[in-house]
Chains A and B, each alone.
Chain A
Amino acid sequence: MTAVVAALGQPWARRLSVLGGLARFAFRAVRAAGRLSRTGRFVMLRVLVNQIRFTALQAIGLVALLSAILSFLVIAQSVQQLGRFGALERVGTIMVVAVIRELGPLLTALIVVSRSGTAIAAEMATNKVMGEVTALEAMGIDPFIYLVLPRMLGAIVSVGCLMVVFDSVALFAGYVGAATAGVHFNRYASLVLATLSAKDVWITVAKGICFGAAVALFCSYHGLAVTAGPTEIPQAVTRGVVGTIVAIFIMSAIFVAVTV
């Protein structure tokens, strides 16, 4: 009986343990930020700039492409269907609620996870395996300041900026989709603007912060948790990416529940 209970409870105990570990990890990162010296800030800034260059700048093309395709498809299909029922004015609601508020942040975060989340987890795991984390500590450098904090800030800034890119391209591509059904630009713009509110902007900002932090937190945590050797690196990357994706979807659901 005890063995059955243990077998049933073990996976949940493991998940709870990971959650506890993540909470401690996040707390250490925040604590490290509070102890940042002037010279530490300078060193961290160099890493941060590199992180933003890789995570945001180099991903702009991909985000713009996927945003354009997604919003064109969604709006082109919607205007065809809505036109049949004489509900074309609903295209603004679909654009703002479905594309800008929900799919945009979600897809942007997924792009960042697949490009940068994997890189962060692999890099952290390699740092650990190659003894670089030990080397940093031996030099008196807190690995959280040099490795974790810049990636966390970089991911937050990058996801936020990429969301703006996604939304801007989506609005334009949405018009191209609407134009296939003969919707004029002025009419499209008025329908979208009528639905768009300041609340959407704040939700996007909040999602950018939460999703960006989740990418860096999960991937750094699983990367630095490697202990055995190089063979553990792919497993750490998988754990980091899967954990982040699950967290992003759960957070999206929470945002909907809280803001609707």
Chain B
Amino acid sequence: MNEPRSSFLVQAYAFGVEGAAPLVFEALDLRDQPDHPANRFTLSVEPGTVVAAVGDEDSGVGDLGRYAMGLAQPLKGRALVFGAAIAGLPYYDLLVFRRRLGYLQLGDGLLQNLSLKDNIALPLRYASDHRLSEVEGRVAQLVEAVHLGAVAHLRPAQSNEEDRRRAALARALALDPELLVLEAPFDGLTGRAAIDILEHAARRLDGTPRTVFLTAQDLHTGVRRLITRVVRIQDGLAQDEPS
């Protein structure tokens, strides 16, 4: 079992199962009217891999991210995160558990009354035991890593889509999560920006590969080379695509 890097994460580790895969969608049926158990699929995301689930808007692929974060519960099947059935956790335990996870939601989910920099700092200020100077240092590091230096002081509404997405990614990476869940992270971005974002997302602070699960309607060709496994969701089933 991976050990927590900081004491504030100890509580978050209380809910996982030792040796379990970071993310497993078990016997999932994404259709509006689930019918036969044979029509369900299981999808496992192995440690250190980048797995992409792609599919049309009505395929249900857009819900996978929220299932993985325990923000919604599937009609049939369940999402296991580090072995824990995340949607079944009590609310306050769930909040603590999510400190092991990073989430870039559809759009960006940035707080409009905070600057991009303060958005990035928020999880560190709230959920870490870092000192103020350490928080500032880590934020500066993240701002530089996602190339936001010149615009970090702006509010989300004053920034362009790419900068907002970069800020949201930096916020998701702030606590150096083991598992990162990205929802349509490349929508509206150039191929170069998409590659840049995924390269940052896929590495942890110590340089080891991070487990990344992303959902998208389609993937840029350049991005595919960074993805370990692409799964297409169609007619309620998941099928591997040649990488």
**Chain A residues with a Cβ under 8 A of chain B:** 35, 39-40, 42-43, 123, 126-127, 130-132, 134-142, 146
Contacts and interface: CB of A to CB of B under 8 A. Distances in A.
Nearest to A130: B112
B109 interface: yes
A69 B109 CA distance: 45
B105 interface: yes
Given A35-B92, A138-B71, A140-B98, A40 B109 contact: no
Contacts of B113: 123
Nearest to B171: A139
Contacts of B110: 132, 135
Contacts of B126: 39-40, 43, 139-141, 146
Contacts of B8: 39
Interface in B103-126: 103, 105-107, 109-113, 122-123, 125-126
Given A43-B122, A43-B126, A131-B106, A140 B112 contact: no
Given A134-B105, A141-B127, 20 more contacts: A35-B92, A39-B8, A39-B128, A42-B125, A43-B126, A123-B113, A130-B109, A131-B105, A132-B110, A132-B112, A134-B109, A135-B109, A138-B69, A138-B71, A139-B127, A139-B171, A140-B96, A140-B97, A140-B127, A141-B122
A130 B168 CA distance: 14
A141 B95 contact: yes
8 contacts: A39-B129, A127-B111, A131-B107, A132-B111, A138-B103, A140-B12, A140-B95, A141-B95
B210 interface: no
Nearest to A38: B129
Contacts of B99: 140
A179 to B, nearest CB: 46
Query: For B98, B103, B109, B171, which residue has the most chain A Cβ atoms within 10 angstroms?
Result: B109
**Top-3 shortest CB links A-B:** A135-B109, A138-B103, A140-B98
Contacts of A123: 113
Nearest to B156: A130
A139 B106 contact: no
Interface string B67-94: 0010100000000000000000000100
A43 B112 CA distance: 16
Contact of B125 (A43, A134, A137): A43
B92 A142 contact: yes
Contacts of A130: 107, 109, 112
Query: For A123, A135, A137, A138, which residue has the most chain B Cβ atoms within 10 angstroms?
Result: A138
